[in-house]
Amino acid sequence: MAEELITDSPEEQDATRIEQRIRNLAADKAKLTADKEEADKAKAQAEAEKHAALKDAEFYKNFNTTASKYPGASDFQDKIREKVSLGLDLEEATLLVMAKEGKYSPPAQPQAPRQSPAGGSAPTTMISPEKPLADQTQAERRAALMEAERRGDIGLN
């Protein structure tokens, strides 16, 4: 039986060991590459989740001011959040959703105060096309008053 064992020469054993070592290194490299890809995917997923959480926090932080500005916006919070997640600005999304639902009413424009001169119904402002009143000297203002009195625009009666 001892004769049946075939022993390889030392050179063949070295070649076999080298091939085995190369196969082991290639397998280790493939395993490291797969582990790195898996770690990169996990990191990208964690970054995406972090970004989504920050975006949600910003939405809820700013939604209260928008809801107070547009009454009824809180009823459509989920739809507004969907539009914001698609990339719209919070106020644009609010206006879009509320207009689509027919609940948007533009804010009333404040009426400009009527310009009524103090002291009665006659105009009391001096009209001087050359310079504004604040830029005139005292002599120029006196001359304008004298001219207005001469024309009859102002008087003591």
Quick: pLDDT tens for 28-51. 999 999 999 999 999 999 999 998
Inside any domain, residue 76: yes
Range of the domain at 155: 128-157
pLDDT of residue 11: 79
Predicted confidence at residue 15, as pLDDT, reads 83
| pLDDT for residue 113 is more than 80 | no
Please say if the pLDDT value at position 64 is more than 90: no
Does 1 have pLDDT greater than 50?
no
User: Quick one: 88 exposed, middle or buried, by C-beta within 10 A (0-12, 13-18, 19+)?
Assistant: middle
Together in a domain, 22 and 93? yes
> How much of the chain exceeds pLDDT 90, in percent?
22
Considering the domain architecture, whether residues 29 and 90 belong to the same structural domain is answered as yes
The answer to whether residue 118 sits within a structural domain is no
Q: Is the domain of 142 the same as that of 85? A: no
Q: What angle do CA 93, 94, 96 make, to 5 degrees?
A: 65
In this structure, what token pair is assigned to residue 60?
């809820």
CA distance 43 to 37: 10
pLDDT-based confidence at 26, cuts 50/70/90? very high
Mean pLDDT of 55-63: 86
Distance, in Å, from the CA atom of 98 to the CA atom of 144, rounded to the nearest integer, reads 57
* Identity of the residue numbered 24: N
Are 55 and 14 in the same domain? yes
Say whether both 26 and 71 belong to one domain: yes
Query: Within this chain, do residues 78 and 28 fall inside the same structural domain, yes or no?
Result: yes
| pLDDT, position 60 | 86
Domain count, the chain: 2
